[in-house]
Amino acid sequence: MESKKLYIGNRLCHIAPADFNLLELFIKTPKHLLTKEDIKNAFWPKDNNPENKIYSHISTLKSSLKDFPEYQIVTEKGGYRLVISSNE
């Protein structure tokens, strides 16, 4: 498994490679909003029932970001949004 390192500011964020890829997808998506269908198509296009996988990866990504309150994954109707707040 390929190792990924994520630095937020000058702090290392410990994150699993699959969750790193999910975070990258959030960042690259306009308004940082992903539907469950978007996530399914990106990671498990042939899986007919990826709900548990999606929930699991969202949950671990939230846990990975818990020490970085300026980055939050929030649940929205039908999907999830990465909310990035500035500390200015």
Q: Which residue has the tokens 């300026």?
A: 70
Ramachandran region, residue 83 (left: φ > 0; alpha: ψ -120 to 50; beta: rest)? beta
What is the rounded distance in angstroms from the CA atom of residue 50 to the CA atom of residue 37?
9
* Local confidence band at 86 (pLDDT 50, 70, 90 cut-offs): confident
Q: Which residue has the tokens 């500390």?
A: 87
Flag whether 1 is in a domain. no
What is the rounded distance in angstroms from the CA atom of residue 21 to the CA atom of residue 55?
15
pTM over 0.85: yes
* CATH classification of the domain holding 34: 1.10.10.10
Which residues neighbour 3 within 8 Å (Cβ) at sequence distance 6 or greater? 17
* Local confidence band at 5 (pLDDT 50, 70, 90 cut-offs): confident
Domain count, the chain: 1
Domain extent, residue 30, equals 6-84
pLDDT in tens, 27-64: 999 899 999 999 999 999 999 999 999 999 999 999 99
DSSP 48: S
Flag whether 28 is in a domain. yes
